[in-house]
């Protein structure tokens, strides 16, 4: 027996225990005798009394509680099966099925839920029953179908067993059809708005991140919450709505725009039955998907281990969610790419050893990069670092500048976030300057995960070795000003905000004229289209002027040093 048993007399407890001996005909909702017993007991104790019945007609659980608080065993449901139990309970104050009854039916995937109205002196009245409907059922607005109420003496006339069999067959058939058509994970997106002016833009960006990771976004919602719920962020009621939405849209992935703590992720997963990841894990996953070079793979693995370490230690069976064998660039489900189960299935010491190994490997890579940088300095070749928000068109612009239309000089340029991760340098030519080195850097994004910033710090710090920064802004995308500011904030954190900078307003051919004019005035940027080779001559002239000014300043500084040295001598 379960629920609040305090205050019950021994005779009442004995009557509750006797319910376990009741057997009903398999495949039926209940029996008139069981309905009478429940009504009498509920009237006597002045509380709801619930019994859970399996498909063999046995009472396996008795609770002095409503449907939501009734004790349910570990469900043995599969994707195409129901739980294998139905809940029968009595309402001492009468009334039909409550919202809590129907939520329990849906979230627990019960075979059915039934409520017995209790009349005066504990007599059973009408019995209300509901069962689930398959996802996508035509003509059904809810997740369940409520049957017409029947008198208690007719409770055993409804063939629940046949209904459950037909329902599971229909669910399996629908799932098989969907699976045949489904080649990507289907995702629900949730962005919480706490009053930010760019909340809608963040939701759109989350959709782009999900698409880049390979998900099919079937639903996205902006939820306003001034104060977040400690455990679930959005509250139990909203999670029920999202679970229902996922049921109907055949979605299996729930992505939050906010970073979730380990306990929050587990609680949301338990409440929804969906795989839950946050924006940070999504970005890490995209980096793992696109990492190609040795250095970028090492950096991504380092960032993933730092992020996953507090979430995996002591997680037990949860480790099986991390897919092994795929490698950083391999396939696998979203949120499972990267180091693999064989590496993450470690204790604290082993994980720390792996972190130390990766950091040492990256130190060696950084030293080799420093040697290449010094070689460029000896050759006195000006360097232009191309920076900008991810997917702003940096790689396309580099290809246009260096005329690298074909492999092997061509740099990968895709309409995806973080399509390229490792810095790529190509030699170009500027009139009046001569040969220059143009370096395409890792794309920036607002609120870049700290673990990624730490892992890629050595790569990002190479920006400081440039003579001039070329800041590429997507002028056609929404929120160009906020994206430009996000990049400037990262440059400021790295100490590069005062470097000579030329702003290129890319995709000008597709930009709104008013937006383009506003950004030109605000940034003194040069409108270009890297894809259509528009405005590149003006941009090259601006870069040549900026590099020329830097060289003149450097010559003046050297002359001043020589003059001071001569004066000292």
Q: What is the distance between the alpha carbons of residues 470 and 463, in angstroms, rounded to a whole number?
A: 10
What average pLDDT is seen over the chain? 81
Q: How confident is the model over 332-384, as pLDDT tens digits? A: 667 666 655 444 455 567 778 888 888 888 777 767 766 666 665 555 788 89
Token output for 292 = 């190609």
The owner of tokens 């430009």 is 484
Q: Residue 216: pLDDT above 70? A: yes
Q: Are residues 444 and 387 in contact, defined by beta-carbon separation less than 8 angstroms? A: yes
Asked if residues 536 and 505 have their Cβ atoms less than 8 Å apart, the reply is no
* CA–CA gap between residue 69 and residue 64 (Å, rounded): 9
CB atoms within 10 A of CB 564: 10
Rg of the chain in Å (alpha carbons): 32
**pLDDT tens profile 24-55:** 999 999 999 999 999 999 998 888 999 999 99
pLDDT of residue 315: 45
299, 455 in Cβ contact below 8 A? Answer: yes
Helices 480-494 and 513-523 cross at an angle (nearest 10°) of 30
State mean pLDDT over 96-101: 90
pLDDT tens for each residue of 390-408: 888 888 888 888 765 444 4
Confidence category of residue 139, pLDDT binned at 50, 70, 90: very low
CA distance 202 to 258: 10
């Amino acid at each position: 027996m379960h629920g609040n048993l305090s205050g019950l007399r021994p005779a009442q407890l004995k009557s509750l225990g006797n319910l376990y001996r009741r057997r009903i005909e398999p495949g039926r909702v209940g029996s008139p005798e069981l309905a009478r017993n429940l009504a009498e007991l509920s009237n006597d104790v002045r509380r709801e009394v619930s019994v859970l019945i399996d498909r063999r007609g046995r009472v396996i659980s008795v609770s002095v509680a409503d449907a939501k608080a009734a004790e349910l065993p570990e469900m043995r449901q599969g994707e195409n099966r129901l739980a294998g139990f139905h809940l029968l309970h009595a309402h001492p104050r009468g009334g039909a099925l409550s919202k809590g009854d129907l939520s329990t039916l849906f979230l627990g995937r019960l075979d059915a839920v039934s409520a017995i109205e209790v009349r005066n002196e504990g007599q059973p009245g009408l019995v209300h029953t509901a069962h689930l409907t398959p996802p996508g059922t035509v003509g059904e607005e809810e997740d369940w179908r409520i049957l017409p109420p029947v008198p208690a003496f007719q409770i055993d006339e409804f063939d629940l067993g046949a209904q459950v069999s037909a329902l599971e067959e229909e669910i399996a058939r629908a799932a098989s059809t969907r699976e045949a058509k489904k080649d990507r994970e289907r995702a629900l997106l949730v962005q919480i708005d706490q009053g930010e002016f760019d909340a809608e833009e963040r939701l759109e960006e989350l959709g782009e991140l999900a698409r880049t990771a390979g998900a099919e976004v079937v639903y996205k919602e902006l939820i306003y919450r001034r104060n977040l719920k400690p455990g679930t962020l959005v509250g139990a009621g909203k999670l029920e709505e999202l679970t229902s939405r996922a049921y109907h849209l055949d979605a299996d992935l729930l992505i939050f725009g906010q970073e979730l703590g380990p306990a929050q992720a587990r609680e949301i997963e338990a409440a929804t039955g969906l795989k839950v990841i946050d924006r940070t894990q999504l970005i890490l996953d995209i980096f793992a998907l696109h990492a190609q070079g040795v250095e970028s793979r090492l950096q991504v693995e380092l960032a993933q281990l730092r992020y996953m370490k507090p979430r995996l230690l002591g997680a037990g069976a949860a480790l099986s969610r991390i897919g092994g064998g795929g490698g950083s660039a391999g396939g696998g489900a979203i949120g499972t790419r990267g180091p693999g189960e064989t590496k993450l299935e470690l204790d604290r010491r082993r994980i720390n050893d792996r972190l130390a190994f990766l950091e040492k490997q990256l130190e060696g890579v950084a030293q080799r990069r420093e040697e290449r940088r010094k070689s460029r300095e000896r050759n006195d070749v000006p360097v232009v670092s191309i920076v900008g928000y991810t997917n702003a068109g940096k790689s396309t612009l580099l290809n246009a500048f260096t005329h690298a239309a074909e492999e092997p000089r061509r740099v990968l340029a895709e309409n995806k976030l973080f399509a390229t991760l490792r810095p790529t340098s190509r030699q170009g030519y500027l009139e009046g300057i001569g040969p220059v080195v143009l370096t395409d850097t890792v794309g920036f994004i607002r609120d870049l995960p700290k673990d990624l910033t730490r892992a890629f710090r050595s790569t990002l710090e190479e920006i400081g070795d440039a003579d001039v920064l070329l800041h590429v802004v997507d002028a056609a995308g929404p929120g160009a000003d906020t994206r430009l500011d996000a990049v400037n904030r990262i440059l400021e954190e790295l100490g590069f905000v005062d470097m000579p900078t030329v702003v290129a307003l890319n995709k000008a051919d597709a930009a709104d004229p008013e937006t383009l004019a506003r950004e030109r005035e605000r940034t003194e940027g040069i409108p270009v289209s890297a894809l259509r080779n528009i405005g590149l001559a003006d941009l090259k002239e601006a870069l040549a002027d900026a590099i020329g000014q830097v060289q003149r300043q450097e010559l003046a500084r050297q002359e001043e040093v020589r003059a001071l040295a001569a004066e000292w001598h």
